[in-house]
Amino acid sequence: MERAQEAAQGTPGRLDGRIALVAGATRGAGRAMAVELGRAGATVYVTGRTTRGHVSEVGRSTETIEETAELVDAAAGAAGRGIAVPTDHLEPEQVRALVGRVDRERGRLDILVNDLWGGDVHLDMGASEQPRMWEMDLDKGLRVLRLGVESHLVTSHCALPLLVRNPGGLLVEVTDGTAEYNRRYRTPLYYDLAKTAPIRLAYGLGEELKEYGCTAVCVTPGWLRSEAMLDTAFGVTEENWRDACAQDPHFAISESPVYIGRALVALAADPAVARWNGRSLSSGGLAREYGFTDADGSAPDAWRYLTELESRDGPVDVTGYR
């Protein structure tokens, strides 16, 4: 009965007793994934650099990891729990301390999510023309790669020895764009590298994790209605987000962070998740596979829409894509 009710509500399964670590859970997709893991019954360690006493270089003091942990608790009820651990994932000693704490307190790690980013502040993604690689500030470019690639490597290096202790562990790399879509050059070069690397990381680590009975995948949300996207890019809220379509009609294909959270839970709850090992997956594609929906009951498929959009003329029409 409970599973039938969950299916009717567009939610994807239970994870009672599982231990998860969401690295980069301060806001956006990371926060939503942590909350949905908790809602499904998992205990979730949430990490990030912005706390109630410290603001990271991203500069958004309104979202903190403590708040994320509280949201996990509220969603989980008695089933799961959110635990905030301030961590800079470019500092190996901090990450080792984090993993050591998970080991001491839980003795296992079932789900590792690498949602580490924060590079947007070093890029001007809204510019009509992006700089060539040699024209961009080198320090900013290298910082983007550290935040978007090195942080993932440090975290996996420290946490995978705990994950592989038990068969069934799941590593989730998070990026922007599917492998198909990211065949395009996504300027500037540093951004292209940062968002292509997690796809390759999932493929390579999938090969290395197979012998331990564990799985690695790369997942991407579509056009995500993150806090920054809503208030900074468009000046709207989740309640009136459709008003932003007047500025960009294609925003009609966007999705709430809940959607990628449900995608993660669907993967983690699937006893046959190993069939996806090494693959690049999207929230929209996984919704077609598992039958969950976004918070409003729709099922947007942004990357299919954006890919096929290039071959279409005429007015924006998301019919058939959500």
Residue 210 lies in a domain: yes
Sheet with 170-174, edge to edge strand ranges: 81-86, 43-48, 19-23, 111-114, 170-174, 215-220, 280-282
pLDDT per residue as tens digits for the range 250-309: 999 999 999 999 999 999 999 999 999 999 999 999 999 999 999 999 999 999 999 888
Residue 239 lies in a domain: no
In the structure, what pLDDT confidence band is assigned to residue 311 with cuts at 50, 70 and 90?
low
Report the predicted TM-score, pTM, of the whole model to 2 decimal places: 0.95
In the structure, what pLDDT confidence band is assigned to residue 310 with cuts at 50, 70 and 90?
low
pLDDT per residue as tens digits for the range 259-275: 999 999 999 999 999 99
Half-sphere exposure of 53 (CA within 13 A, CB side): 2
Residue 319 lies in a domain: no
pLDDT per residue as tens digits for the range 132-170: 999 999 999 999 999 999 999 999 999 999 999 999 999
Residue 86 lies in a domain: yes
Cis ω for the linkage preceding 188 (within 30 of 0): yes
How many domains are there within the chain?
Answer: 1
For the domain that residue 279 is a member of, what is the CATH number?
A: 3.40.50.720
Spatial distance between the Cα atoms of 132 and 53, rounded to a whole number of angstroms: 38
- Domain carrying residue 212: 2-226+256-294
Spatial distance between the Cα atoms of 31 and 137, rounded to a whole number of angstroms: 30
pLDDT per residue as tens digits for the range 225-244: 999 999 999 999 999 999 99
Coil, strand or helix at 102: helix
Residue 145 lies in a domain: yes
